[in-house]
Amino acid sequence: MSISVYRWKLELQTAVSLCVAFCVLSMLNACGQAGHVNNSEQDPTTQRALLALQLAPDETTLAPYRTLTSPSVSGTSDTRAVVSSEIKPTYGAAEVLSTLKAAHGRTSNPVPYYLDANGDGVITQDDAQRVLGWALKGVQRPNVAPSITQPTDLVVVANRQMDPVQIAAFDPDDSLLNFSVDSYTTNDIILRDLLGWPRNGPLTDLGLTLDRITGVISGTPNPSTLLKAPIAVTVTDNRGASDTKRFNVEIISDSLSTQFITRDEGGAAVNELKLVAADTSRGGTVAYCITTSFEAPNATDPCFRSDAEGGRTRTIRIPTMGKVPPYYLFTKTATNSVLSNSIPTAAKKPLVLVETNKGSFVLELEAERAKVTTENFMQYVDAGFFNNTVFHRIFSNFVIQGGGYTYQPNNASPYRAKTKLDGLREPILLEKTSTTRLSNTKGTIAMARTYIPDSATSQFFINVVDNAESLDAGKATVDGYAVFGKVIPPDGGKAGDLPKALRDIIAVPVSGSLGGGTETSLPIGPPPTILSTRRIN
């Protein structure tokens, strides 16, 4: 009896019992030995598995086996694709076998998953029975959840097109996969807005995109003040099974920081600024160019030098007269891609050179974030108001304060407060740290005031320790004290480090206070004096 006869009989049956099916299978095997299937070319278990496909009573049951195509493989180059594209519903067992063998011969691919449950590469009796049971009962194969290979943390450079990175995922069932990233929760948004965090979290807020089909992350990262942004990526198959992995995206910035240098040259003090480019080698940078030209240099320009060649630093002299020109940073990748981050040092933020009888230091002011306070301070600088004023309050573990008094040692009361006749201006609006997102950390400069919030005029103080908890708005006081800049650290220092001139001022001995009371802050003898202040950019 031929296979076609039994297939015709199966089509007439409305229900097939497991018992009858096994009988039919046995008869088919016997017929195969008579000529339809050559047993010398296949073992019995393989024959049973292939015949199980033919015993499927309708196309609906067979469909799961005909759609196991890997999207990354085209045509018939994959054995799994053969089941979908080459094996026809009308094929007999011999035709199925020959087609499958031809595919194996072309590709040497492993045995398809649906025929090899344990993944050992061999079709066993158990595999054949399992497939046979599915075919006869119309039961679809069980779904196995996909898995994501744990992504490594990404380090990317702000404003630079990143090299695409693919999230690797595997699905044993060869289902179509969909990639996605977690969104902000309601609490995340509340905290972000309350604390003033940048909009970092989901990739879109970082300026990056995730291709939902391929799992490729690409884009141009936004500048970030966060060191790392946590990302959760999920892959889901077409039956709803999923896997989630978490990793971090760290955005580093091609930017210039400034350090201050004072050195002796022939008995005269020479002041210099040292520009230091952020180390973005982890983000792919191989060379740096610090230049006064805002036009991007060619990748072969000799201006580009590696870190080992000193490319990350440039020292410029502060002229006795005149100003420091703006400097721009350009970086280059291994593929000769040139990036301009367009953040010129000595251009966007005002720099003020303060010369005292203890030495010099430079202030960098926040003209954008604390506009009112910075403009007020710079008007005093440009008018020469601070010249010959003194630091009349010195706390070695708190602040040093000045900008409001001169010192005349021959007078009975040597300290004299400057008045409107000296150019004292009207009080200004308090710019709260809760609004500017600046903080009274070590090395910052802020405005002194009375108990009235909007009362600051010319007096300022420099935080010589971290005073954020006591002086920021909403901490020890409701309104706090307005920060509007910072002291540029000394050569080799980090943010908050104080140059020698300020360290020497802090070391001045004190006794009593200018206003009386129990405070101990008044310098003994002549106080540290500001000789001059001037903008240098």
Enumerate residues 6+ apart whose C-beta is below 8 A from 107: 77, 78, 79
Would you say the C-alpha torsion 200, 372, 527, 272 has a positive or negative sign?
positive
* Secondary structure (3-state) at 24: helix
With bands split at pLDDT 50, 70 and 90, how would you rate the model's confidence at 314? very high
Mean pLDDT of all residues in 153-181: 83
Residues 258-297: pLDDT tens digits?
999 998 888 888 999 999 998 888 888 899 999 988 888 8
Is there a common fold for 147-252 and 351-535?
Answer: no
| Orientation of helix 44-54 relative to helix 93-107, angle to 10° | 120
Share of the chain above pLDDT 90, in %: 41
Q: Which of 105-114, 147-156, 389-398, 436-445 has the lowest mean pLDDT?
A: 105-114
- The Cα–Cα gap between 134 and 131 comes to 5
Q: What's the topology of domain 147-252?
A: Immunoglobulin-like (2.60.40)
Enumerate residues 6+ apart whose C-beta is below 8 A from 474: 434, 480
What pLDDT, on a 0 to 100 scale, did the predictor assign at position 308? 94
Helix (H) or strand (E) holding 157: strand 154-157
Amino acid at 485: G
With bands split at pLDDT 50, 70 and 90, how would you rate the model's confidence at 117? low
Of residues 409, 377, 404, the one with CA closest to residue 392: 404
Domain-wise residue ranges, the chain: 3-137, 147-252, 258-340, 351-535
Residue that the structure tokens 């977690």 belong to: 182
- The Cα–Cα gap between 189 and 498 comes to 37
Helix (H) or strand (E) holding 486: strand 483-487
Q: How many C-beta atoms lie closer than 10 Å to residue 306's C-beta?
A: 14
- The β-bridge partners of 315 are 274
Q: Which of 14-23, 116-125, 165-174, 217-226 has the lowest mean pLDDT?
A: 14-23
In terms of Cβ atoms closer than 10 Å to its own Cβ (0-12, 13-18, 19+), residue 298 is exposed
Residue that the structure tokens 């070590």 belong to: 442
With bands split at pLDDT 50, 70 and 90, how would you rate the model's confidence at 406? very high
Question: Angle CA(374)–CA(376)–CA(380) in degrees, nearest 5?
Answer: 110
Pair 328, 293: CB distance under 8 Å: yes
Of residues 7, 8, 5, 3, the one with CA closest to residue 36: 3
Residues 473-526: pLDDT tens digits?
999 889 999 999 999 999 998 889 999 999 999 999 999 998 878 899 999 999
What pLDDT, on a 0 to 100 scale, did the predictor assign at position 194? 60
Alpha carbons within 13 A on the beta-carbon side of 244: 8
Q: How is residue 300 written in tokens?
A: 């072969």
Say yes or no to pLDDT of 427 above 90: yes
Residues 131-140: pLDDT tens digits?
444 444 433 4
What pLDDT, on a 0 to 100 scale, did the predictor assign at position 185? 59
The CATH superfamily assigned to 351-535 is: Cyclophilin-like (2.40.100.10)
Q: What is the mean pLDDT of the chain?
A: 76
Pair 10, 20: CB distance under 8 Å: no
